Amino acid sequence: MSYPEYQADLQRIHESEVYGRAVFDTAARLTRHRGRKAKWLALKALEEQTLQRYLDYMAQTGQSVIEPTGWALKGRAEGAALAAMPWRLAMTLVRNATGPFQEKFLRLKEHAKEEERAFFAYVYAHEKALEAFAEKELARDPDSLKAVESLLAG
């Protein structure tokens, strides 16, 4: 695959997963609400699964992995803030945070070669699942983790 933003977009996957794992892990550790803790942990599991798939993809394609600097620290700080703020505000921020990542991941998906399409479709679907979770939480839908759980199971 080759387009001007390819390397930056590919690196953004790594940054996103390291960041998301730190956000959701910290939020889960610091929240006092049992149900919310379980939700944060489900999101963390999705980030960990996606990070592993990214690392596997990079190894399979012989590409160099560059550890993202600062993203875990930023994620821990933002996870602490999410755990402390009202749930609706936290969900609004989670939903809004997916937008910039979706843009990059969609571009990767659209430019993917046939043999790469499934991987990049998964990366994009993972970000859409996070957005869907936050939107369903805002709508008070009890099945808010459906898309997340579907990706974790598949």
Share of the chain above pLDDT 70, in %: 100
For the cut 90, the answer to whether the pLDDT of residue 110 exceeds it is: yes
Quote the pLDDT of residue 149: 98
Angle of helix 117-138 versus helix 6-30 axis, rounded to 10: 40
| CATH number of the domain to which 31 belongs | 1.20.1260
SS3 assignment for 88-131: HHHHHHHHHHHHHHHHHHHHHHHHCCHHHHHHHHHHHHHHHHHH
- Between CA 75 and CA 152 the distance in angstroms is 21
96: domain range? 5-153
Quote the pLDDT of residue 9: 94
Question: What's the whole-model pTM score?
Answer: 0.95
Domain count, the chain: 1
